[in-house]
Structure 1
Amino acid sequence: MSDLHIRHATLSDIDAVLRFWREAAEGTSISDDHDGVARLITTDPEALLLAERDGLLTGTVIAGFDGWRCSAYRLAVHPDCRRKGVATALMEAVEQRFLALGGRRVDAMVLEANDRAQRTWGAAGYQREDHWRRWVKPL
């Protein structure tokens, strides 16, 4: 993957990231808008990681850390780039970030109906904890 470059998103990347998520990601979130992504980048400039090959966006992941928990969100790889190590490279960067911050465990939010993503996380060594159910309330 020597031609794959992982970097942190900047404010100038927001529109490209939103377009990318519409094409490559399963499902949407109420925070998948310009203001939400801008807030993320402004609050934690190292949280949104981008994978690029030949200057083209091939993958994303959000590596959120609140000082206690490490959370991975919006892992997405362009359909034409799947099974080529992009997700692996992104998650290695995420795990390095979390270790440097003192993190001890990564929680990943994955849509239950997204079978491909469920298999991907399992293959990466993550274990599903069926006893946890998340309760969500939009603000």
Structure 2
Amino acid sequence: MRIREFEWPDYDAVVALWTAAGSDVVPRDELVAKLTRDPELFLVAESSAGVAGVVLGTYDGRRGWILRLAVDPAQRRRGIASGLVDELERRLRALGCPRINLMVLPDNESGLRFWQSLGYLPTPDVLHTKPMLAR
């Protein structure tokens, strides 16, 4: 397995992976904006079969965020997710990032176990969100 930065020819394979993993697809225009900011934090894991996993991270100068982690369901339990997170953490550390946040839905028991196994601890924060619709 090789972990590298996302490249635009990967987009269709990443969309297919997100779909197969049950994740929402990040629209192309949102990725364009994201990639102008910190392209080194959007990573793909490549196996002999193609894109096997993907993680989308970002850093705002204060906190790192892991926004999207997905692994091809046929290639799970092979260390792909852990490898992606490890590389993303390494890159965030190199940027001087002091803390990484992520969100896991409370009913995602396997996700909660995975993140806790990597040292991510649940916090009692209450998430608020506001969609910014075009006017």
Common fold: TM-score over 0.5: yes
**Moved runs in structure 1, 4+ residues, more than 4 A?**
none
Task: Find the partner of 2:110 among 97, 116, 119.
Answer: 116
Task: Find the partner of 2:119 among 120, 125, 139.
Answer: 125
TM-score normalised by length of structure 1: 0.87
* Equivalent runs, 1:36-115 vs 2, <5 Å: 36-115=30-109
What's the RMSD between the two structures over aligned residues? 1.5
Q: Which runs of 5+ in 2 are unaligned?
A: none
Task: Report the Cα offset of residue 126 of structure 1.
Answer: 0.9
Distance 2:70 2:55 in 1: 7
Matched, 1:137 2:130: yes
| Counterpart position of 1:21 | 18
Q: Which runs of 5+ in 1 are unaligned?
A: none
Per-residue CA deviations over 1:22-49 (Å, capped at 9, x if unaligned) read: 111x4426xx212112222233221210
CA contact (8 A) 2:23 2:70 kept: no
Per-residue CA deviations over 1:84-115 (Å, capped at 9, x if unaligned) read: 11011101101101110001111112222222
Percent of pairs with identical residues: 36
- SS of the residue corresponding to residue 52 of structure 1 reads strand
